[in-house]
Structure 1
Amino acid sequence: MKLFRVFSALCAAALVSGCMTVDGGSTASRNAFTVEPPLGTELVEADGTLYPAEPYNVVQINTTVPETLTVSEANSFKPRADIVWREDPLGNRYEQVRVVMQNAVELGAAGFDAGRDVVVDIQLTKFHALTEKTRYTIGGTHDIHFFLTVRDAKTGERLDEPRLIEMEFRALGGAAALEAMSRGQTQKVRITDHVKARVAEELTLRSTPLVQPLTLSSLSSRGI
């Protein structure tokens, strides 16, 4: 009997370590560690505080979608893939979602036209819209994740460390989706509007990373 209790406790601990709840209810699992920062980035530990950024004049936006991301064309409720996109004809999904993101970021940065000349780099890590099956039934969530980096346009120097933006917002389904589409509110429009607003917000802020590089020991001390 005692051996059974010990075994049960070990199983419960394994489950908790494999999938833990953070940030007020969102779920983090081992899969979260597959997200990598832009090439050449030195990981630093930030204090979590955001401060007003200096005025920017955005002169260039570069959006990249690594082809290491997985794509799914499965018509299931929530395919296991990094990219799920159906509002363009069947084709190069990497380029299609890159165009959607590029357009959204350009709109978000449109008002930043006075101050230091900067380049904004966007690297997509996840672009999850709805499949046909989900769109016309229960609806779901749009998951748009990307790194945003601001660089000096003249020197190329990073003005802030790459910031991982994780957006998750309601995706309409069933009758609500059809009604929204009749008003021109497609998935592309809704995603564009949300990304536009988020980018405009992020460009007014910057973080102040600590000097110490992020190490395995510091990760362990934070319980990750």
Structure 2
Amino acid sequence: MKAIRFLAAALVAASLSACVSSDPASRAITPVPGDVSVASKDPGQQVARIPQFTVADIRVTVPRSLKVSEANLFMPVADIVWRGEPMGDRYAQVQRIFDEAFAGGTAGMQRGPAVIVEAEVTRFHCLTEKTRYTVGGTHAMRYKLTLRDATTGQIIDGPRNVVADVKGAGGQAAIAEEMAGRTQRVVVIEALAASIRRELSAPVALPPGLVSQNAAPEAVMTVAQVY
């Protein structure tokens, strides 16, 4: 009986192994905390995202052609929906948010060729009051990213569309965040800063035992979606 069970187990194992791709890269994929997957032949190897450029300048534009909505609906039809600050010039407010986030996200990037970072905002659709204080949702933030050589002005990357969406709390969770000082503005700036860090960095394997400052949780993350 034991021999029969052993044989059955062996047959099951063989059938499962036949379903696994023989692609060496697929077999070598090792999950990294905060990342989806990073190829590594050593299961114990740590991977961090390291800046690949020296940021010489940042230029963010928020086109006035984008449609703004102040309607208190669950999902207003507009390009810019922002209630994280008092009513005012929403274009200017979004501009300041991106400027602050990108300055923080690229701080200390002094590695590789010098570049000018250009970002054109294409969507900044955050939560309305109605959404934030009920079900919550997603702060949908999109921008078109272009990197230029800081000396020649020639494009070396892009333009490409980047998605920097982040979850927005709702109901009592949103109220608790507000009371703790974690406002919508704080949330979106953190997300945008992390997004630009990812876009200007690349995964690099670290030697065993080496702890890198670049391996902070916010720096070792999934590459932002592109569409």
- Aligned residue number for residue 120 of structure 1: 117
1:98 and 2:62 matched: no
> Which of these residues, 176, 180, 204, is aligned with residue 177 of structure 2?
180
- What displacement does 1:163 show? 1.7
CA contact (8 A) 2:80 2:123 kept: yes
1:123 is aligned with what amino acid? E
- Aligned residue number for residue 167 of structure 1: 164
Aligned residues: 155
1:92 is aligned with what amino acid? D
Q: How does 1:1-224 map to 2 (within 5 A)?
A: 55-205=52-202
Q: Which runs of 4+ in 1 moved over 6 A?
A: none
1:126 is aligned with what amino acid? R
In 2 relative to 1, CA 156–102 (structure 1 residues): closer, same or farther, beyond 3 Å? Answer: same
SS of 1:112's partner is coil
Structure 2 unpaired stretches of 5+: 1-48, 203-227
In 2, the alpha carbon distance for the partners of 1:121 and 1:53 equals 20
- What displacement does 1:111 show? 2.8
2:144 is aligned with what amino acid? F
In 2 relative to 1, CA 139–149 (structure 1 residues): closer, same or farther, beyond 3 Å? Answer: same
In 2 relative to 1, CA 123–53 (structure 1 residues): closer, same or farther, beyond 3 Å? Answer: farther
- What displacement does 1:115 show? 2.9
Please provide the CA RMSD for this pair. 1.8
In 1, the alpha carbon distance for the partners of 2:156 and 2:110 equals 17
TM-score under structure 2 normalisation?
0.65
SS of 2:94's partner is helix
Greater per-residue strand proportion: 1
CA contact (8 A) 2:51 2:111 kept: no
- What displacement does 1:54 show? 8.1
Higher-Rg structure is 2
- What displacement does 1:172 show? 0.5
- Aligned residue number for residue 41 of structure 1: none
